[in-house]
Structure 1
Amino acid sequence: MKRFLLPFSLFLCFSLLVSCKEPAPKTIPDAEINAWFDAEYEELLQMSPLQLTTQGRKDRYDQIDDMSEAAEDQKLAWMEASVKEMKEKFPYEQLSPQAKVSFDLWEYQYEMEKGDVKFRRMNYVFNQMGGVHTMIPTMLINFHKVDEASDMSALVSRIKESGRAIQQLLERAKLQTEAGVRPPKFAYEIVMQQANALIQGQPFTDGKTNAPLWTDALAKIEKLEKDGKITPEQAEEFRTQAKDALVNNFKPAYEELIAWLESELPNLEEKPTGVSRHEMGNAFYAHKLKSSTTTDLTADQIHQIGLDEVKRIQQEMIAIKDQVGFKGDLKEFFKFVNSDPQFFFPNSDEGRQGYLDESTAYLDSIKKKLPEYFGILPKADLVVKRVESFREQAGAPQHYNQGTPDGSRPGTYYVHLLDMNAMPKSTMEGVAYHEGNPGHHMQVSIAQELESVPKFRTQMNFNAYAEGWALYSEILAKEMGGYTNPYYDFGRLVNEIWRAIRLVTDTGIHSKGWTEADAIKYFSENSSIAPGAIQAEVRRYMVIPGQATGYKIGMLKIQELRRLAETELGDKFDIRRFHDRILGGGALPLDILEKEVKRWIEEEKVSQQ
């Protein structure tokens, strides 16, 4: 008989009585890759003085970001090199599941930035919704804290710097115009009004009123002096410096901007369609949809989802109409809710304060219920404020500004109260939940306070995730005991159908040739939103293509994942643990969120065996 010799490696295994299985692959500790992410993120963060200030830091406190295309190119090159280094240093298969999420996110943000740079002359530089012309003054007033004399010196420097930033953006707007890309006429008309409001009053013009930045500077100087941080002589010197910066740096830049905008008005379309009218417009819109929804849904698919959702929500509306005993059809009910005085505060200072007070009361009430639905709770406070006069627009949507990670500045729910007839009581409760708790404030605050993930993940924002969560929160608040008034529950549906209509109108405008009038007509026929608010909304979609589609797409995905978890886990499903998984890793693209929830479901099954 033949004798077979064992391979030496196999003989060694037998002799040592050990298994011959392949050695376990090396696993890179999370701490190692997280430390690398934190170092890289700090380098990235240092490129943006304004982002540092947003996070409550005083690094580069006297500066404002470089707004040039060259600065964008430098940032993109840095991100490309960073992603390359990450792939070389950290083999993907050696990472933990959580580290893989961080790896994917770091690469994802680079890929999206690359797309943004490719289409950068397609984004309207100046528009009425959130251009830097209002963002910088808003940040200087609300975010630039003055605790010491050096902070005031930094503020004066930033007032000067703001002139440079506006001039850089003006140059970019001119390049955009040369490329044949111009916004609708109304955009520049409103921007001119906003810019003019910033340079009216002292020290720019005679009169008893002060310009917003001058009012802010005087108050901050006065507080320093009152607190004994500076002498009266230093206070006077700061007033002189601030006035000089405003008159000689800030004002000329804004005057130049206004003059150029005015010269462009004859070249702008009165009744434009969407970005598809521009060269590369369809490709640009596809990029904006991907960026806004973090999905590969096409414009046609999103349009159809919107049509289907509008029909579904209208059936729920009819049920409430019948519940309250209204005898007319849904359009007549829309007209009733949209015009009856019982649904509006007086168009006065008392009425405006009433809106703020009632919104605060709803948020205070829901806050008490949070522990029943969440294990992780935000530490940061929340305040409700009226939008500053220089950027306030009748009927414009409410919005949220995040607080600082350390809680020193609370999150702020901002409300446009210029025209109380555009701010019905019926929708007030749902919007408060959307912008505050359990919506944006909760999601953003929890993300900022996370300690188990690298810091960059605590500051990330994905439109579909953030807005999808906020819209999901509106209906979650009903589970939590909100909307005891059926008209306010109808208002919740008004808010939801609003977001469904966005899918139809945004895609209609930018991929189907709809005009502003077409979008307003569809909006008016399918909702009870006030006419002024409808026009402001449609104009928002026209200048920020795709952004409005993220809300409903994100909400539908979160609801889908919840149904999946409830089905898979049955009576073991814990709503608090589900919500903690949604919020406990920071903002995520929807495909990554789905993977994380499915992984959590499997973990839950194992832990319950």
Structure 2
Amino acid sequence: MRKTILTGVAVCSLLASFTLPALRPQRPADDDKRLAALFDAYWEKNNRLFPLSATSQGDNRYNDQLPNDQTKAYRDTLQAFYQGYLAKLGSFKRAQLSANDKISYDIFQYKLQTELNGLRQNAWLTPFKQFWGLPISFVQLGSGEGAQPFKTVQDYDNWLVRARQFPVWADSAISNFRRGAKAGVVLPRALVVKMIPQAQALVVAEAPKSIFYGPINKLPASFSAADKQRLTTAYQQLILTDIVPTYKKLADFLQNEYLPKARTTTGLADVPGGPELYKFYVKNWTTTDKTPEEIYQTGLAEVKRIRSEMERVKTQVGFKGDLPAFFQYMKTHKQFMPYKTPEEVLTAYRGIQARIMPALPKYFSRQPKSAFEIRQTEAFRAASASAEYNRAAADGSRPGIFYVPILDAATFTTPGMESLFLHEAIPGHHFHISLQQENTALPKFRRFGGYSASSEGWALYTESLGKELGLYTDPYQYMGALSNEIHRAIRLVVDVGMNTKGMTREQAIKYMMDNEAINEQRATAEIERYMAIPGQALSYKIGQLKIQELRDKYKKQLGAKFSLRAFHDEFLKDGIMPLAVLERKMDAWAAAQK
């Protein structure tokens, strides 16, 4: 879910501009061009409404904007925006569109309907959490290491203007937290206690000690002496008068006012409107009509299946003891902790990348042009972070980045590193997202859009390609891959369990630790992540199972005509989309192969 913000002036401007040019009756042959114009107009307004998303795509026109998405006026603006474009879409006859435009039509309709359904929910009463939200993404932007560019004097000035709007956003967020508390819609205490130190860590007495001073530490040599002096002074003032006081205000509010009102319960079933909100999240994140109970039962079945394969590997390596003991062995034995420094961990991941590169052309004729880097997750957020991928800029100005949280290199364990790299980096997210962005034939809402069930499903599916790509030769790495897969199956059980079956945070942590090789610290961070983003964790396994189902179906249908590389190419060709739209597209491809 995107969290961005608009000034009052910009909101009024947008409301005034919602009326589209009249779409006069024309010949069906013109529909493709008219639809393309509609998509272009939509995307222009979308980037004005969501300037942080525009920045992440490399569209730098709005880098000085930080709209206040915490207001009713902003939500009303979105309501009019989505409803207006849904009405315009209804003027087209889908049957008369080209094959690719039919896909665009279906995705666009699905997107608008989903956004409108989301606006009916009360999620705005909990503006941010320990795992996502502007207070976290704001740091990544302002550090100089994220999507916000700091190359020109104008870039530096853009951030000054954008960042000065953060205090207003924070005041509105606090107001919404208070309204939520009055309505009984509050976050679990376990999450709030993690949010407080995140904010406190950004409160410093001296500007140079702030992570937001990063851009000043890297002032380009080409800047004039006058600009360097002006910007240094301005950034010091920004940090000490706007940013630090705002984070202190957030920390103090959470500590003194909100924490005492936080709930001791775990799931959404325990707050007003929670059950309806969870059903929305399940549909939104999985892009299916599966019920929570169906997903729960799928999770139980997958956990059982994967455990059986784990037992086989345990026997293969000659371990004497039960599966939980094997997990404990993999978590604690020194042979699985060979590193001394974070750089050694990053170097090991670069070695995995080097090993798979020669095999990739056999399974992928489509490979992205975007650059790729492996980096350590920033210290301020590492304790609550999982490994993740941040997309490259479409214009090539920023690489795709695989972030690895390394709290203590000496305790960083090796099993699962190979499958994690396949998932978060290559050929997982980096291939899928970069190829989509690089496909300029797609309308921009598809080039830069995303559906977790498709993208995360693909990333999890690519973990199954390890042996083909020359990995998993070490049984412990394969065991790590199984552990990563069962991790996603466990999510189906604990996410639904916490939100519909009364499973507590502590029970969910125990269930996870009982079924995979994971330590308590990481299991806790994972479970609290699911508490912060209900339903999102369901998308991985649901998407992977659908992709594997399609692969198996077409292999059976096509026999000798089936090409795994062609299957992968077709899947990646048109970008990320809801699973129902994806299956229709892939079915048409398979029929054409016959």
TM-score normalised to structure 1 length: 0.90
User: Which deviates more from structure 2 when the two are superposed, residues 369-378 or residues 437-446?
Assistant: 369-378
Q: Using the alignment, how far apart are the partners of 1:529 and 1:438 within structure 2?
A: 24
Aligned to 2:263: 269
Per-residue CA deviation, residues 395-430 of structure 1 (Å, 9 max, x unaligned), is x42111101112220001111111347642101111
Q: Distance in 2 between matches of 1:562 and 1:575?
A: 8
User: Match for 1:300 among 293, 296, 301?
Assistant: 293
Question: Which residue number corresponds to residue 314 of structure 1?
Answer: 307
Structure-to-structure mapping, 1:221-370, within 5 angstroms: 222-223=219-220, 226-227=221-222, 229-230=223-224, 232-262=225-255, 263-270=257-264, 272-346=265-339, 350-370=340-360
Matched, 1:77 2:80: yes
Which residue is equivalent to 2:494?
505
Deviation at 1:338, TM superposition (A): 1.4
Corresponding letter in the other structure for 1:219: N
User: What SS does the aligned partner of 1:369 have?
Assistant: helix
Residue of structure 2 equivalent to 1:160: 164
Q: CA deviation at 1:28?
A: 4.4
Q: Which whole-Å deviations, capped at 9, do the CAs of 1:488-528 have from their partners, x for residues lacking one?
A: 01000000000000000001100000111111121121111
Distance 1:593 1:188, change over 3 A: same
- Stretch moving more, 494-503 or 161-170: 161-170
CA distance in 1, matches of 2:542, 2:410: 30
How far has the Cα of 1:49 moved from its partner? 1.7
Checking the alignment, whether the CA contact within 8 Å between 1:429 and 1:488 is kept in structure 2 is yes
Q: Which amino acid in the other structure matches residue 322 of structure 1?
A: T
C-alpha distance in 2 between matches for 1:49 and 1:76: 18
Question: Aligned to 2:424, which of 432, 435, 454?
Answer: 435
**Alpha-carbon distance, 1:44 to partner:** 1.4
Structure-1 residue corresponding to 2:212: 213
TM-score, normalization by structure 2: 0.92
Aligned length: 564
Task: Name the CA distance, whole Å, in 1 between partners of 2:125 and 2:560.
Answer: 49
Q: Which amino acid aligns with 1:370?
A: L
**Bigger-Rg structure (1/2):** 1
Q: Distance in 1 between matches of 2:308 and 2:30?
A: 53
Mapped pair 1:107 → 2:109: yes
Which segment is superposed worse, 46-55 or 460-469?
Answer: 46-55
Letter in structure 2 aligned against 1:195 = A
* Secondary structure in structure 1 of the residue aligned to 2:401: strand
1:95-139 CA distances to partner (integer Å, 9 max, x unpaired)?
122211111111111111112111133663221111211111212
Identity %: 34
In 2: Cα distance, 1:593 partner to 1:26 partner: 25
User: Residue 173 of structure 2 aligns to a residue in which SS?
Assistant: helix
Q: 1:378 aligns with which of 364, 368, 371?
A: 368
Q: Does 1:67 align with 2:69?
A: yes
* Larger mean Cα displacement after TM superposition, 507-516 or 261-270: 261-270
Which residue number in structure 2 is paired with residue 127 of structure 1?
129
Instruction: Tell whether 2:196 aligns with 1:192.
Output: yes
Kindly report the root-mean-square deviation, in angstroms, between the aligned alpha carbons of the 2 structures: 1.7
Distance 1:156 1:368 in 2: 45
Alignment-derived partner of residue 552 in structure 1: 541
Residue 404 of structure 2 corresponds to 415
The reply to whether residue 573 of structure 1 matches residue 573 of structure 2 is no
Residues 128 and 422 from structure 1, CA distance in 2 versus in 1: closer, same or farther, beyond 3 angstroms?
farther
Q: Which runs of 5+ in 1 are unaligned?
A: 1-24, 204-208
Change (3 A) 1:565 1:246: same
CA–CA distance in structure 2, aligned partners of residues 506 and 250 of structure 1: 35
Which of residues 461, 476, 484 in structure 1 aligns to 2:465?
A: 476
Cα offsets for 1:57-107 (capped at 9, x unmatched): 22022121322232122022111111211222x222211222111111111
Shift of 1:29: 5.5
Q: Which deviates more from structure 2 when the two are superposed, residues 422-431 or residues 285-294?
A: 422-431
- Checking the alignment, whether the CA contact within 8 Å between 2:458 and 2:544 is kept in structure 1 is yes
The whole-number CA distance in structure 2 between the counterparts of 1:191 and 1:433 is: 31
3-state SS of the aligned residue for 1:483?
Answer: coil
CA distance in 1 between counterparts of 2:526 and 2:301 reads 21
Distance 1:91 1:422, change over 3 A: farther
